[in-house]
Amino acid sequence: MKNFFASCLGTIFGLFLFAFLGLALLIGLFAAAASAGSKANLKEISVAQGAFLVLNLSANITDAPPPSEFKKLLNKLSGEGDAQTYSLRQIVSSLQRAASDSRIGGVYLTGSLQPEGYGAGFAALREIRAALEEVKAKKKLVVAYVAYASKRDYYLLSVADRIYLNPYSALDLTGFASEPQFYADMFKKYGIGVQVTRVGKYKSAVEPYTRNNLSEENREQIAKLLGDLWTEWRAGVEQARKIPAAKLQELSDTKPIVYPEDAIKLNLATHSAHLPQVLEELRGLAGSDSENPRTFRQVKFEDYYASEIKRKEGDPTQPGVEDTRTRVAVVYAEGNIIDGSSSAEGNVAGDRFARQLRKLRQDNNVKAIVLRVNSPGGSAFASEVMLQELKLARDAGKPVVVSFGTVAASGGYYIACASDRIFVQPNTITGSIGVFGILPNVKDFANSWGVTFDQVKTSKYGAIESIKYPKTPEELAQIQGFVDRIYDQFIDHVAKARKMEPSKVKEIAQGRVWSGSEAVRLGLCDEVGSLEKAIAFAKEKASLPANAAVSEWPKEKEFAEQLAEALNQKGNPLARIWGSSPASRLAKEMAGPLRELEALNDPRAVYARMPFLMSVE
C-alpha cells in the first residue's frame, strides 16, 4: 500500500512538472514570437531603384493600429481572425512616402479585401484612393491585378493606370443593398417578450426585436443613405475611369456582372491576363530583381512601412518606450461603445477609454488630440463618460479634432460633441441622434416550461428591472421618462457643439442616419477631409510645425498583459465553423446580430446606437 501511494504521488508530481514545463515552454515560444515580431517591425531594408511597392489587399483595414504579432499568433492558433490586418495610417503614410521616394517606380495592388467588423469600409477606402492619386500625380504607375473584384475592391482599384483582370473573373457592379434581419416572430414563438422605449421615429435599432419587416421611416432613411453612398461610389469610378455615372447606373441595372472583355471595351479595365503574365509585365516595367531575376524589383508594403516610416519616427508605439516629444495624439474609438473597462477587441469601453484620455490630458507633451471614430455607438452612459473627458481636454487648452471613419453614428456622434472641428468623408454613415431602451421578458417562455414566478416588493416600482414580467404601463412611463431625458441631453450637447437651436437639431435628429455629405450640408459636420487632414488641422490649431510627431492610441500592450488576457480568454466555438462556404456565411450572418446583444451593457439599459443591421453590400 505504501508503494502504491508513493507511486501515485510520483505520478501526480510528474504530471504537474510536465504541465509546468509545457506552460513555460509555450510562454517562451510566445515571447520569442513577440520579440521576433517586434524586431521585424523595425528592420532596415534596401530598396532597389525603380522598385514597385507591393500592397496585397487580402486583408482587413482598420482605423486603429493592427494587432501585435503575439496577438496575430494567438488568433491563428484559435482559428479566429485569419485575415491579415493593416491600419489605415500604415497604408496611407506608406503610399504618401512612396510618392516622393525617388527609388519607388510605382505601386502594385493585388488581392481582394477581407473586411471584418467595421474594417475596410468605404470611407477608409476613399482615403487610400486619395493617397494613390498622390502617387499618380508624381508620374508613377499604379498597377492592379484582381481575380474577382467586389464593389469595395473596384472602388479602390479603379484609380489604377493599368487594371488587369483574370480572364475567368468579373467585375461586380450590382449596386448596394442592405438586408436587415428580424427576430420578433421567433421571440414570439418561444415566448420571449420585448418592450421598447425610444425617442426618434427613425431610431430603428429596436425593430429587429419588435417587427418582422422594415418600418416606412426606416425604409426611407436606408434608401436615402444607400443612394448617397452609391452616388459617391459612381462619382469615384467616373472620375477615375472617365465613365459617366449614368452609364455606370445603366450597367448596374442591365449588366451588373461585367466580364473582362466587356470591361476593357468600357474602360473599366485595361487588360485581361493571368497572374504569371502580369508578373512578367511588371518585370518589364520595374526591371528584374537582383536576387531573383525571375521576378520584378519590389518591396513589400509591410517592410517599407517598418523601415521607412516606423523606424525613422523612433517607434514610440512599442511597449515600454516613452514618447517625450511634443506631439499630437491620435486616439481611436473603433467598435461598439460599452460600459466599463473591458479590453475585448471590437469594443470601446467607456471607463477604459476615459482613463486613456485623462492620461493624454495630463501629459504636457501632448498638445492636441485627434479622435478618430469608427463606431455605431452603444451605451449612452459610456458615451457621456467619454464626452466629459474630451471636454476636460479642451478646457485644458488642448484642441480636440474629430475625424469620422466609415461609421460615426449615435454614440459615435455623441462623443464628437466636444470638438473644435469634425472632418468626415462623403460616404461616412453618421447622425442617428436618438436614444432607445430594450426591455426583454421571459414570462411566457418560462411558463411554457412549467416555470412560474411570484413577487414581493416594498414599493410600486421595486421590480422595474426584472426580466420575469413585462413592464406595466406605469413602469414603461418611468423608463420612457429616463430615455426622454437622455435624448434631451443628447440634443443639448449637439445644439451647443454645432451652435444650433435645439429645435433645429430635433428636426434632423429623430434617430435618422445620414451620409457624410448630407451631414456637412445639415451642419452636423464641418468639412470633408481625411484623417491626415484632421491631424494637420490639429497641428495648426495647437501652433505645432507640420512635421510635429504623431502618436497613436491605444498603444500595443506589454507582453505580460497580452499573455494574461490570452490565458483568460474564452474560446469562440463558432470560429472553427465560420469559413467562406454559403452555409458558414449564413451561420455567421445569423449569429452576428445576436452576438451584438452582448455589447448592450449600459447600467440603465439606455443606448445611443444606430441600427444594428446597417450592413452595406
**Cα separation of 557 and 68, whole Å?**
8
**Cα separation of 410 and 435, whole Å?**
8
Q: In this predicted structure, what is the pLDDT of residue 4?
A: 47
**Cell of residue 474, nine digits:** 406605469
| Segment 466-472 mean pLDDT | 92
| Segment 404-409 mean pLDDT | 97
| 264 within domain boundaries | yes
| Segment 186-205 mean pLDDT | 90
Asked whether the beta carbons of 415 and 177 are under 8 A apart, the reply is: no
Q: In this predicted structure, what is the pLDDT of residue 184?
A: 92
Q: Are residues 108 and 232 in the same domain?
A: yes
Residue partners of 407: CB distance under 8 A and separation at least 6: 118, 121, 374, 375, 376, 428, 429, 430, 610, 614
Q: Are residues 510 and 547 in the same domain?
A: yes
| 15 within domain boundaries | no
Q: Which has the minimum average pLDDT: 12-21, 275-284, 305-314, 494-503?
A: 12-21
- Using alpha carbons only, give the angle 395, 399, 402 rounded to the nearest 5 degrees: 115
Can you spell out the DSSP letters for 487-539?
HHHHHHHHHHHHT--HHHHHHH-TT-EEEHHHHHHHTSS-EE--HHHHHHHHH
| 127 within domain boundaries | yes
Q: In this predicted structure, what is the pLDDT of residue 511?
A: 92
Q: How many CA atoms lie within 13 A of 115 on its CB side?
A: 17
pLDDT of 317 > 70? The answer is: no
Can you spell out the DSSP letters for 250-276?
HHHHH--EE-HHHHHHTTS-SEE--HH
Q: Which amino acid is at 510?
A: Q
**Cell of residue 92, nine digits:** 496611407
What beta strand segments (E) does 298-376 contain? 298-300, 327-334, 336-338, 347-349, 366-375
Query: Distance of alpha carbon 431 from its chain centroid, rounded?
Result: 17
Asked whether the beta carbons of 137 and 102 are under 8 A apart, the reply is: no
The answer to whether 307 is a known catalytic residue is: no
Q: Which has the minimum average pLDDT: 136-145, 340-349, 380-389, 392-401?
A: 340-349
Bond before 611 cis per omega within 30 degrees:
no
Q: Are residues 132 and 71 in the same domain?
A: yes
Q: Are residues 513 and 591 in the same domain?
A: yes
**Cell of residue 152, nine digits:** 469595395
Alpha helices in 270-410 (DSSP H): 275-286, 301-304, 350-362, 380-395
Instruction: Spell out a b/e string for 343-362, using b for 16 or more CB atoms within 10 Å of the CB, else e.
Output: eebebbbbbbbbebbeebbe
The maximal CA–CA distance of the chain, rounded, in angstroms, is 91
| 188 within domain boundaries | no
Query: Which band of pLDDT confidence, cut at 50, 70 and 90, is reported for residue 570?
Result: very low
Q: Which has the minimum average pLDDT: 108-122, 172-186, 297-311?
A: 297-311
| Segment 454-470 mean pLDDT | 91
**Cα separation of 513 and 511, whole Å?**
7
| 109 within domain boundaries | yes
Can you spell out the DSSP letters for 197-236?
EEESTT-GGGHHHH-SS--HHHHHHHHHHHHHHHHHHHHH
Q: Are residues 102 and 249 in the same domain?
A: yes
| 459 within domain boundaries | no
| 532 within domain boundaries | yes
| Segment 256-270 mean pLDDT | 97
Query: Which band of pLDDT confidence, cut at 50, 70 and 90, is reported for residue 487?
Result: very high
From 87, 272, 375, 410, the catalytic residue: 410
Of 254, 281, 308, which marks where a domain is finished?
308
pLDDT of 63 > 90? The answer is: yes
Asked whether the beta carbons of 302 and 41 are under 8 A apart, the reply is: no
Asked whether the beta carbons of 498 and 424 are under 8 A apart, the reply is: no
109 phi/psi in degrees, rounded to 5: -105, 130
Q: In DSSP terms, which residues pair with 304 in a beta bridge? A: none
pLDDT of 390 > 80? The answer is: yes
Residue whose C-alpha is closest to residue 103's, from 307, 280, 250, 257: 307
Task: Compute the radius of gyration of the chain from its Cα atoms.
Answer: 27
**Cα separation of 358 and 371, whole Å?**
14
Q: In this predicted structure, what is the pLDDT of residue 40?
A: 46
| Segment 329-352 mean pLDDT | 91
SS3 434: coil
pLDDT of 525 > 60? The answer is: yes
3-class secondary structure per residue, 536-582: HHHHHHCCCCCCCEEEEECCCCCHHHHHHHHHHCCCCCCCCCCCCCH
**Cα separation of 53 and 302, whole Å?**
10
| Segment 495-521 mean pLDDT | 96
DSSP single-letter state for residue 146? E
Asked whether the beta carbons of 159 and 153 are under 8 A apart, the reply is: no
Q: Are residues 252 and 132 in the same domain?
A: yes
Which strand (E) or helix (H) includes residue 608?
A: strand 607-609
**Cα separation of 399 and 397, whole Å?**
6
DSSP single-letter state for residue 288? B
The answer to whether 557 is a known catalytic residue is: no
**Dihedral sign from CA coordinates of 53, 59, 62, 68:** negative
Q: Which has the minimum average pLDDT: 5-9, 85-89, 392-396, 600-604?
A: 5-9
Q: Are residues 289 and 373 in the same domain?
A: no
From 71, 72, 140, 203, the catalytic residue: 203
Q: Are residues 414 and 535 in the same domain?
A: yes
CA-CA-CA-CA torsion for 55, 59, 64, 65, nearest 10 degrees? -60
| Segment 77-86 mean pLDDT | 65
**Cell of residue 51, nine digits:** 522598385
The residue segments making up the domain with residue 84 are 40-174+219-308
Q: In this predicted structure, what is the pLDDT of residue 231?
A: 97
| Segment 401-418 mean pLDDT | 97
DSSP single-letter state for residue 309? I
Q: Pairing between strand 429-431 and 421-424?
A: unpaired
pLDDT of 591 > 90? The answer is: no
413 phi/psi in degrees, rounded to 5: -85, -35
Residue partners of 212: CB distance under 8 A and separation at least 6: 182, 184, 185
Residue whose C-alpha is closest to residue 435's, from 481, 504, 484: 484
Q: Are residues 378 and 283 in the same domain?
A: no
Q: Which has the minimum average pLDDT: 24-33, 150-159, 231-240?
A: 24-33
Q: Are residues 289 and 167 in the same domain?
A: yes
Q: What is the mean pLDDT of the chain?
A: 85
Q: In this predicted structure, what is the pLDDT of residue 342?
A: 81
**Dihedral sign from CA coordinates of 512, 518, 523, 528:** positive
Q: Pairing between strand 429-431 and 513-515?
A: antiparallel
Residue whose C-alpha is closest to residue 166's, from 193, 134, 144, 141: 144
Q: Are residues 262 and 131 in the same domain?
A: yes
Q: Which has the minimum average pLDDT: 111-120, 303-312, 396-405, 466-475?
A: 303-312
Q: Are residues 254 and 333 in the same domain?
A: no
242 phi/psi in degrees, rounded to 5: 60, 40
> Residue 159 — left, alpha, or beta (φ > 0 → left; ψ -120 to 50 → alpha)?
alpha
How many domains would you assign to the chain?
A: 2
Q: Which has the minimum average pLDDT: 272-286, 355-369, 431-445?
A: 431-445
CATH code, 333: 3.90.226.10
Query: Which band of pLDDT confidence, cut at 50, 70 and 90, is reported for residue 583?
Result: very low
**Cα separation of 587 and 598, whole Å?**
18
Asked whether the beta carbons of 158 and 144 are under 8 A apart, the reply is: no
What percent of the chain lies above the pLDDT cut of 90? 66
Of 308, 342, 373, which marks where a domain is finished?
308
SS3 128: helix
| 233 within domain boundaries | yes
| Segment 224-247 mean pLDDT | 97
